[in-house]
Amino acid sequence: MYNFQEKVVLITGASRGIGLAIAKKFAKDKAKLALNDIPQAQEELKKVVEEFRKQGIEAKYFLADISKYEEVEKMMGQIQKEFGRLDVLVNNAGTIADRTLAKMTKEEWQKVIDVNLTGVFHCTKLALPLLIPNQGKIVSISSVVGERGNFGQTNYAASKAGILGFTKSLAKELGRFGVRVNAVCPGLIETRMIETMPEQVRETAKRLTCLGRFGKPEEVANVVAFLASDESSFVTGATIDITGGLAL
């Protein structure tokens, strides 16, 4: 368990999956939660916040499409007004639109880049005025696909690879302020996306993983919390794989 007492953590895409697991981990470690998702997920996100409040956790939700600069700008203003500070930014929100490049539409390409990569730019840039005074931490969720590619995911792979370059460059820019910037690359994690995979594909994927199973969202959350904690005080510009040894 880490100590995030009085720390404010913003998690994008927090209504379900890995984002929700990250929120639960920070809640367990006594952080104050600023939870984001798109307006279409409002009811789901509202229920998440209500559940945290029942547990005595200070949590608020903020609706914004992170691909839209103005919406993120408004959200950061609301967070500053509600909490007065920001200590940790977790860039988790993402989307997919899988198709081979030959069949991919420019809209499918652009949507994935806009959310997965430009959204990280929007959130990080607009959070800096709040993070720098507190020597904040930035953790972005990339993917093993961003390191190794994957059939039918040129758009997704490009967006997640971009996060890795963004992370290393920003770590060099913000180190002088004591702000640490890191990324994690999950492999196959038990989320709704995995549940939709055909059984044969699921079994093949497990065989390619050294540990012989899929990861749990909580296992990603544990590494994110470590990178945001003082226990990783000399770690910046790093990429940590959370893959169970996928395709070593």
Interior angle at CA 236, CA 128 and CA 145, nearest 5: 95
Side chain identity at 26, as an amino acid letter?
Answer: F
Side chain identity at 241, as an amino acid letter?
Answer: D
pTM above 0.95, yes or no: yes
CATH number at residue 91: 3.40.50.720
Asked whether residue 127 is domain-assigned, the answer is yes
Instruction: Look at the block and give the residue holding tokens 């050294």.
Output: 210
For 38, half-sphere exposure in the C-beta direction (CA atoms, 13 angstrom radius) is 11
pLDDT at 192: 80
Range of the domain at 80: 8-239
**Alpha-carbon torsion, ordered 231, 159, 15, 59, to 10 deg:** 40
Asked whether residue 246 is domain-assigned, the answer is no
Asked whether residue 212 is domain-assigned, the answer is yes
Q: Where are the alpha helices (DSSP H) in the chain?
A: 17-28, 42-54, 69-83, 106-113, 119-131, 144-148, 154-174, 192-195, 199-207, 217-228
Q: What is the pLDDT along the chain (248 residues), one digit of tens a residue?
A: 899 999 999 999 999 999 999 999 999 999 999 999 999 999 999 999 999 999 999 999 999 999 999 999 999 999 999 999 999 999 999 999 999 999 999 999 999 999 999 999 999 999 999 999 999 999 999 999 999 999 999 999 999 999 999 999 999 999 999 999 999 999 999 988 777 778 888 888 899 999 999 999 999 999 999 999 999 999 999 999 999 999 67
Asked whether residue 15 is domain-assigned, the answer is yes
Question: Which of 110, 109, 181, 184 is CA-nearest to residue 142?
Answer: 184
Asked whether residue 248 is domain-assigned, the answer is no
pLDDT at 61: 98
pLDDT at 205: 86
Residue 165 · residue 118 · CB < 8 Å: no
pLDDT at 155: 98
pLDDT at 178: 98
Total domains present in the chain: 1
pLDDT at 201: 80
Asked whether residue 245 is domain-assigned, the answer is no
Question: Which of 120, 92, 70 is CA-nearest to residue 20?
Answer: 92
Asked whether residue 174 is domain-assigned, the answer is yes
Asked whether residue 2 is domain-assigned, the answer is no
Residues with catalytic annotation? 156
